Structures are given as structure tokens and as C-alpha cells.
């Protein structure tokens, strides 16, 4: 029996890398309205008119749009056989496809060239259809995924990209970290709403339903159009622990897990999970869900599950517990874990446990689509001695290898931000994840020159030995 190729590579997204936000016929996406700076400025700026006198990190990002050949050559040197990246919807449909808009040929050609360059280098593109950016025109017209109209526009976009790239891209991901909308409205569904807004649950669960329906349509189209195509759901994943054996803590952990699994249960299992009704009743939600939507969900489950994993979360019924910040939200600080410079609690053993939980839940292949350590790197003599990053990654590789040994089917490992890029939560580049350092600062100054960090050679060796030597 032929052994399946394990995907070794990295992951990036369009708005965090490409830049050229208004070149090649592209129009702004929601992400292009977000300022860098303090957390508050970054999030508050979402959806506001673009002020040309201010610095917007995604507008030039790391200039991947113009430098991708150089970057792919470095990925190739590391031995990547896969790269996860996303398509910017507003490069393909600058106005989101409104008013019978035709696709933008220049945008389509950009990704054609990019995928060709990857394939020439022996790197398989793993493509996220929608990674935290929506054409601004759709935000302005509909307020994001608040409207059912978004489903048809997303379908139009998917049909175009599947048809165009069907011979180059076989592995697709629908929405990046779909569950993040439980915490932040503006990223996935492009909805400006605070978590304390009394309508938050109604708005988010409704938008979530439209996205789930659109995701089912994407699965259907992918299977119809892309020969041998596979499409995965994507979870922003955490191992969730109860702080103690107090049943109240255990119950909270159960409820937090439901929040985490609600969307992917629906996408992986072909319909809403049994506990959905209780959630809808708890919040007294009035959802627009049709029989046709439910049929689409039932007939089109995803082929595999991709997920990001940076940390675990610990929940406690005791509100006085010290909190630790996290990728999605804060949770009780776990006294057994160390934290990154941003306070995210590192937990490789949690990854092994989590993978076992996911696999026993779905019995479909998993893909680690993001993992990594955001740190403040210092460039000295043309390199970065990032032993801390190597330690983090080594521990996580060991953990997923242990999970594979437990019997979990894993398609590959694609650590996040394999080249430094713009941080999603802060809009800053000083939170770096890469094996490759990019000379750029948080105000947009720098030469954009690329430098290999110590982790570059480490990862190259890991890939060359297929993970045997860490």
C-alpha cells in the first residue's frame, strides 16, 4: 500500500502577507481598515473609512505580492512540500461580486502564477477560501454575514476559484477558525458588534448559520468541480480543561467545549449537534434556517478537519481566579503551564489530548493548519537565535507524533507564520512567528529584506528526516 505523503510546510494568509491592497484591480477588504497599534485602536478601527494619512499594516504587509518568488525559494530550501495560504476574495471580486460583477482577471492571474510557482518548487498549495477578510463593499452593503445574500455571493466566488484552480489546488479549507465568531464578530463574519451587545448571540448565531450553509455549498461545488478535491472545516482549537474536579468547573468545561465544537460538529457531521436546540433556546434565538439549508448541510459534510492550536484554556467557576490571555479569549491561568510573551499558555501535551478528542469525535483525517510561538525576535548579525521557538515547536512536533502513535490520522503540520507577517490580534509585526525574519517594524519602516533565523535550519532538518530528528 502506498504511504500517504505527510504535509510538512507552513501557513500564511493573504491580508497578513500580500500587501498591494489596491493593486491589480483589488479593492479594500475589511482587514484593510484595521490600524496597527494598541489592541484597542486595532479593533476599534474595523470598518471605518480608510484615512490615507495613517499607517495600515495590511496595505503593504510583508509585500508577498511582489516578493513571493523569493519567499517560495526559501520555503523550498527548507524542504516544504505544502504551504497553506488564502485567496483574497476582493482580488477576485473587488466589489464582492455585487451587481453582476465579473471576476477580476488580474487577481485570478496573480494566484495562477503563485500556485504555478509553488508547484514548480514541489510545494502543494493548501488554500483557505476565506481567512478573516471580506470585500469591504459587502460589509458596506450588508454589514457582513448578517444577510442571507452573502451565501449566493460566496457561492459565486467559490465557483470561480474552483473552476479556475481545479488542476492546481486539491486541498481546500472553507472558513478560517469559524468558531472565532463566538468571541469576535469582525474577523470571520465581518460584523461590527461587541460581545456585550444584547444582540450579539442572535446576530452571531444567524451569521454562523449563513456561513455554515455557504460552507456546505462550497463542499458540494468542490466535489463537483475539482477532480479529487478535498475540503476541510477549520477550527480555532484549544484543549479545554476544567480547573478542578468541582462538578461546576467540569460543567463549564463541557459548555465551553460545546461553543468550540458547535460549528465544526455541524460541518463534519452533516447537521446541527443535539445540543444546538438548547443553546438556541437559552438565548431565545429566532433563526432563519430553511429545510433547504438543512438538506445542504446533511448532504455535504467536510472531508477532513483542519485546526489551529497554540495553547490550551482552563475554565473555572471561581471568578476570582487569575486570568491568562489567549488567542480567542482569556481563561483561568493554569498553574502548570508556562506562557509566551503575550501570555498565551503553552501546552504541547494538550495538543496530544486534543487530537485524540477530535479524532474520536469525527474519525476523519486531521490537519494542523496553524501552530507556533509569537515572540519578539532580535536580529543580530543577520540572524535570530530563536531557541525559544525551536523548543516550542519541538515539543509540539513530539506531541503530534505521540498522537499519531495513539492512532490519530494526521495529514500534515503547517506551522503558522512560517515567514514573519502581520499579527491578526494586534496588527503588529513585532509579534513574530517565522523561520524567516522580515525587516519591517510596527510603523511600517524597514527594508523588507528576509533573513534566516536559527529555526530555519532546525525545521529544514526536521523535514529532511521526516520528523525523526528533532
Q: Which residues bind ligand BG6 (CB under 6 A)?
A: 13, 16, 132, 176-177, 236, 308, 327, 370, 374, 416, 423-425, 431
Chain position whose Cβ is nearest to ligand BG6: 425
How buried is 140 (Cβ within 10 angstroms: 0-12 exposed, 13-18 middle, 19+ buried)?
Answer: middle
Smallest distance from the beta carbon of 207 to ligand BG6, in angstroms? 18
Lookup result for grid cell 484615512: 51
CB of 42 or CB of 91, closer to ligand BG6:
42
Q: Give the position of cell 436546540.
A: 277
Q: Where are the alpha helices (DSSP H) in 12-56?
A: 14-17, 39-44
DSSP line for 329-345 = --EE--TT-EE-TT-PE
Q: Which is it for the CA torsion 121, 127, 131, 136, positive or negative? A: positive
Asked whether the beta carbons of 180 and 188 are under 8 A apart, the reply is yes
- What whole-number distance in Å separates Cα of residue 186 and Cα of residue 179? 12
Question: CB-based contacts of 465: which residues, under 8 Å, 6+ apart?
Answer: none
Find the shortest distance in angstroms from Cβ 177 to ligand BG6.
Answer: 5
Cβ proximity to ligand BG6, 16 vs 174, nearer residue: 16
Q: How far is the CB of 328 from ligand BG6 (least distance, A)?
A: 8
User: Which residues in 51-166 belong to E strands, given as ranges?
Assistant: 82-86, 124-130
Q: Which residue has the cell 511600517?
A: 444
Count of alpha carbons within 13 angstroms of residue 318, beta-carbon side: 12
226 vs 393, beta carbon nearer ligand BG6:
393
Strand ranges in 273-322 using DSSP code E only, listed in sequence order:
304-315
Closest approach of ligand BG6 to the CB of residue 323, in Å: 17
Given the complex with ligand BG6, which of 122 and 343 has the nearer CB atom?
343
β-strand pairing of 7-11 with 82-86: parallel
Active site residue 370: yes
Task: Give the active site residue among 124, 133, 177, 256.
Answer: 177
Smaller CB separation from ligand BG6, 89 or 416: 416
In whole angstroms, the minimum distance from the beta carbon of 428 to ligand BG6 comes to 9
Write down the least CB distance from residue 176 to ligand BG6, Å: 5
Closest approach, Cβ 385 to ligand BG6, in A, equals 21
300 vs 308, beta carbon nearer ligand BG6: 308
Catalytic residue among 18, 124, 133, 370: 370
**Per-residue buried b or exposed e for 338-357, using 16+ beta carbons within 10 Å of the residue's own CB:** eebebebbbbbbbbbbbbbb
Burial class (CB in 10 A: 0-12, 13-18, 19+), 336: exposed
Nearer to ligand BG6, 85 or 403 (CB): 85
Residues in the chain: 470
Would you call 44 exposed, middle or buried from its count of C-beta atoms within 10 A (0-12, 13-18, 19+)? middle
Contact 85, 128 (CB under 8 A): yes
Which residue, 301 or 374, has its beta carbon nearer to ligand BG6?
374
The residues annotated with a catalytic role in the active site are 177, 370
Amino acid at each position: 500500500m502506498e504511504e500517504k505523503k505527510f504535509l510538512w510546510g507552513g501557513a500564511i494568509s493573504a491580508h497578513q502577507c500580500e500587501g498591494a491592497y489596491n493593486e491589480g484591480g483589488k479593492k479594500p477588504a475589511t482587514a484593510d481598515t484595521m490600524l496597527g497599534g494598541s489592541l484597542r485602536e486595532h479593533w476599534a478601527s474595523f470598518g471605518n473609512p480608510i484615512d490615507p494619512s495613517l499607517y495600515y499594516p495590511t496595505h503593504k504587509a510583508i509585500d508577498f505580492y511582489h516578493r513571493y518568488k523569493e519567499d517560495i525559494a526559501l520555503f523550498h530550501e527548507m524542504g516544504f512540500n505544502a504551504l497553506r495560504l488564502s485567496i483574497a476574495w476582493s482580488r477576485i471580486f473587488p466589489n464582492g461580486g455585487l451587481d453582476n460583477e465579473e471576476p477580476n482577471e488580474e487577481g485570478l492571474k496573480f494566484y495562477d502564477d503563485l500556485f504555478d510557482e509553488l508547484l514548480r518548487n514541489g510545494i502543494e498549495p493548501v488554500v483557505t477560501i476565506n481567512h478573516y477578510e471580506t470585500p469591504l463593499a459587502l460589509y458596506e452593503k450588508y454589514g457582513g454575514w448578517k444577510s442571507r445574500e452573502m451565501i449566493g455571493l460566496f457561492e459565486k466566488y467559490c465557483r470561480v476559484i474552483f473552476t479556475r484552480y481545479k488542476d492546481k489546488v486539491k486541498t481546500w479549507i472553507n472558513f478560517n477558525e469559524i468558531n472565532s465568531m463566538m468571541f469576535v464578530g469582525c474577523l470571520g463574519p465581518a460584523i461590527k458588534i461587541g460581545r456585550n451587545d444584547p444582540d450579539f448571540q442572535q446576530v452571531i448565531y444567524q451569521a454562523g448559520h449563513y456561513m455554515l450553509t455557504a460552507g456546505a455549498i462550497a463542499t458540494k461545488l468542490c466535489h463537483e468541480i475539482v477532480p479529487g478535491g478535498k475540503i476541510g472545516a477549520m477550527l480555532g482549537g484549544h484543549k479545554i480543561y476544567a480547573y478542578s474536579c468541582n462538578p461546576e468547573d467540569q460543567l463549564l468545561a463541557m459548555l465551553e467545549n460545546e461553543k468550540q465544537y458547535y460549528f465544526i460538529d455541524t460541518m463534519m457531521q452533516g447537521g446541527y449537534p443535539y445540543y444546538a436546540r438548547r443553546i438556541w433556546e437559552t438565548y431565545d434565538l429566532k433563526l432563519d434556517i430553511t429545510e433547504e439549508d438543512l438538506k445542504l448541510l446533511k448532504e455535504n459534510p467536510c472531508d477532513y478537519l483542519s485546526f489551529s492550536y497554540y495553547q490550551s484554556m482552563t475554565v473555572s467557576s471561581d471568578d476570582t481566579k487569575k486570568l491568562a490571555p489567549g488567542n480567542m479569549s482569556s481563561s483561568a491561568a493554569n498553574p502548570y503551564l508556562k506562557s509566551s510573551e503575550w501570555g498565551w499558555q503553552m501546552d504541547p501535551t494538550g495538543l496530544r489530548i486534543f487530537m485524540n478528542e477530535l479524532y474520536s469525535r469525527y474519525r476523519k483525517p486531521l490537519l494542523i493548519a496553524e501552530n507556533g510561538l509569537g515572540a519578539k525576535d532580535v536580529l543580530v548579525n543577520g540572524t535570530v537565535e530563536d531557541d525559544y521557538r525551536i523548543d516550542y515547536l519541538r515539543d509540539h512536533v513530539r506531541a503530534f507524533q505521540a498522537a499519531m502513535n495513539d492512532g490519530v490520522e494526521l495529514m500534515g503540520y503547517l506551522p503558522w507564520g512560517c515567514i514573519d507577517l502581520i499579527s491578526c490580534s494586534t496588527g503588529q509585526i513585532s509579534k513574530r512567528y517565522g523561520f524567516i525574519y522580515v525587516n519591517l517594524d510596527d510603523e511600517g519602516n524597514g527594508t523588507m529584506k528576509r533573513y534566516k533565523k536559527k529555526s530555519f535550519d532546525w525545521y529544514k532538518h526536521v523535514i529532511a528526516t521526516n520528523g525523526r530528528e528533532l
